Amino acid sequence: MSLTVFGAPLSPFVRKVRLCLLEKGLDYQLEVVMPFTPPEWYLQLNPLGRIPAMKDGELCLADSSVICQYLEETYEQTTRLYGNTSVARARIRWLEKYADYELAPLTTFGVFRNRVLKPSAGHPCNEEGVQTALNQKLPPHFDYLEQQLGERPYFVGDQLSMADIAFTCQLINMEYGGELIDADRWPKLAGHFARVKAIASVQSLLPSEQRMTAKLIEMGKKAMQPD
């Protein structure tokens, strides 16, 4: 086995793939590739230049969902993360897509990028955009997901799935941007987030990510100080 993941640790999509690998007990190497300005050789793996990509031997794949579903189908003896029935698989893929396509533009590109990444590069935070994401755009999504979760510990069935991982990966980035889901308004989602964040695979990644985030925030403070 020679699995290599390419991407940056603070990307929620890279984190999603890493958690999939960890939950499945698959060894891998992480080769850091920064988004937005990837090296020329990386475009041979993913011509779109986005992260993550993955190599399994001679096979090259891009897109976190494609990668995770490939791992599910190829390594059949590992922990199942897409359910055991067609109905469960459909629901998990829908909620994974929902997190990636509906939450990510707000939690990661709205809150995290503005509060952490842009200041670290010397660019001002668009706080108005952050507040719009938090107060106008995210609440309807959280209302829907609170209803989808219901009284279950996980989104689909009684065990962890890629739906839970994808959702948690986005909320981690929102937290790095200084915001937590309102536990009074969405108590089920807040409990779910705490529950999934506490599992061993997630805990194994968080300390190094938190150190990286702290460094970026400090860089941002210095970069934004007046001359």
pLDDT tens sequence for the chain (227 residues): 589 999 999 999 999 999 999 999 999 999 999 888 889 999 888 899 999 999 999 999 999 999 999 999 999 999 999 999 999 999 999 999 999 999 999 999 999 999 999 999 999 999 999 999 999 999 999 999 999 999 999 999 899 999 999 999 999 999 999 999 999 999 999 999 999 999 999 999 999 999 999 999 999 888 767 66
Question: Are 3 and 28 contacting, i.e. CB atoms less than 8 angstroms apart?
Answer: yes
Which strands, in side-by-side order, build the sheet including 29-31? 29-31, 3-6, 53-56, 59-62
The CB density around residue 22, as the number of other CB atoms within 10 Å, is: 19
Query: Which residue, 47, 44, 40, 55, is CA-closest to 5?
Result: 55
Residue 43 gets which letter from DSSP?
G
Domains of the chain with CATH codes: 3-75 (3.40.30.10), 86-223 (1.20.1050.10)
Reduce the DSSP state of residue 136 to 3 states and report it: helix
Integer Cα distance of 192 and 158 in angstroms: 12
Query: What is the length of the chain?
Result: 227
